[in-house]
Amino acid sequence: MAVPSIRLATGAKMPIIGLGMWLSKPGEAANSVRYALNNGYRLIDTAACYFNEQDLGQVLDEEYIKQGKLKREDVFITTKVRRFFTFFPHL
């Protein structure tokens, strides 16, 4: 089944349905990410205050990108950054 998407200013088509990581416990979130990616989800929403971004990154990188199952540009990750964190130079 094709997932509805919107076209971004870059020309990329981003799915409008994705996995929300809120209330996914650190350590358990990895299973949700695996399930979503294995079932065609390509949009994942998270936030620093959910404390599960590391699980997302680890699963995506080690189990999908490095193994050639997905390309990084195939997955959209949305997040929220609190104003407090915007002083970090890497943001």
Catalytically active residues are 50
CA 40 to the chain's CA centroid: 13
CA 9 to the chain's CA centroid: 20
